[in-house]
Amino acid sequence: MRNIVQKYLQRNSTKLFNRTSVFNLYKKCNFSGYKIYSDGLVHSEFSTELKTVNEVIKMPIYRILDTNGHLLDGHEAPFKDEEVLKIYKDMVEFSIWDEIFYGIQRQGRISFYIVNEGEEGLQFGMGKALSVDDHLYCQYRETGVLLSRGFTYTDILNQLFGTKYDEGKGRQMCICYTKKDLNIHTITTPLGSQLSHAAGCGYALKLKNQKAVAVTYCGDGSSSEGDFYAALNFASVRQSQTMFVCKNNLYAISTSIKDQYRGDGIAPRALALGIESIRVDGNDLFASYLATKKLRDICIQESKPVFIEFMSYRYGHHSTSDDSSLYRPKEENEAWRQEGVHPISRIFLYLKNKNLYSEKEDQEHRKSVKENVLKELKKYESVKRYNIVGGLFEDVYHEEDWNIKEQRENFEQFFKENKHNYDTSKFER
């Protein structure tokens, strides 16, 4: 329509303001079926005031459990007491595994690790709200979500050590988990690309009329990738059943949010693209669960994308390749570590306030978990890796082509005579 008008006006430019030309325009082009100026806008009132816009809609941080472990504004816990205690113990158990995984990397027993510390609340809260039918497209710091949905420490260990039981056959760096049976899509390293995959998956779920969502994650840093805009815009236009989650932990390695964006966090971007959004205290297990549950329901019932921004803090280093004391002050970390601010201690306070748990019981639990972890580690460390030839050459294509075959045969012939020059002790033969 706009093009037609422009074309007409160009043709009759000398008569632009002539009453006759306006009449002819009206006569030639019937406007009645079109909403001029309003297609593509939510609000389309006119104004004679020359005014720019420089403020954003207020997006509060949803929280129901305060830093003293008390429920706010008459809210009730979304779980029974026994369940809260169980989740708390799971969070503690996971944080111990997490810490030990970090430690064994420092010892050179695995090549790489990324800790989850500080995100236990949002991870287990989300995990509780998701179904096994939901498809997970993770970034890399969502292990608690995986564990909540059936992924096991056995699966984790097999991937970290690259054993023959690793579904990914040891081909990816540590923490790139994959589990088809649980709809855990292979984690990979390039940032942000999985967001579009989840948008397409959410559209596939829509086409299949499936009561499930594609859940996908990014950090504040990866939300700067072009794929972030692409994924959200595509999901919005096609109304995919996709739940986008941004874990805003204030840092992308050394880059703080001051160097990452100037807008009001991440959620307003989703809103600008037409996606219903919420901002949540990621250190509040209960709020994380309730928000995820509500948005999942909206996503499925209305068959459209949704967005959650979890506010949290990256307590640990970015990874075992990082020393965060080089770029952020110790006091900042200490502020976030205050009792009740940290997600685990907040739930502990809640339990303690209700006399459901004590420091003594907690210490015993931690000790018992640690002993079990160290025992399991030794076991998995000695499991063999997948065979060398299969691990190298399988799965490039659905079937082996002549080129791969030629290279595989050449390698096999070479290796027969030169095996002694390599360390094959960890591999199946």
- Count Cα neighbours of 129 within 13 Å in the Cβ-side half-sphere: 25
Smallest distance, other proteins to C-beta of residue 168, A: 5
Helix (H, G, I), strand (E, B) or coil at 185: strand
- By beta-carbon proximity to other proteins, the closer residue of 88 and 137 is 137
- By beta-carbon proximity to other proteins, the closer residue of 258 and 398 is 398
Residues that bind other proteins (CB under 8 A): 135, 166-169, 171-172, 176, 178-180, 185-186, 188, 190, 193, 195-205, 207-208, 214, 226-227, 229-231, 233-234, 237-238, 394-399, 401-403
- By beta-carbon proximity to other proteins, the closer residue of 188 and 324 is 188
- By beta-carbon proximity to other proteins, the closer residue of 173 and 298 is 173
Whole-Å CA distances, 266 to 138, 271, 281, 390: 18, 9, 14, 43
Edge-to-edge strands of the sheet including 276-281? 61-62, 276-281, 306-311, 242-248, 214-219, 135-137, 184-185
Report the C-alpha gap between 385 and 425 in whole angstroms.
Answer: 9
Smallest distance, other proteins to C-beta of residue 418, A: 21
Tokens, residue 229: 């805009």
Smallest distance, other proteins to C-beta of residue 399, A: 8
Torsion over CA: 118, 119, 124, 125 (sign): positive
- By beta-carbon proximity to other proteins, the closer residue of 129 and 231 is 231
Angle, vertex CA 232, rays to CA 262 and CA 186, nearest 5: 110
- By beta-carbon proximity to other proteins, the closer residue of 5 and 396 is 396
Smallest distance, other proteins to C-beta of residue 196, A: 2
Smallest distance, other proteins to C-beta of residue 356, A: 40
In total, the chain counts a number of residues equal to 429
Residue in the structure block whose two tokens are 């043709």: 11
Smallest distance, other proteins to C-beta of residue 353, A: 44
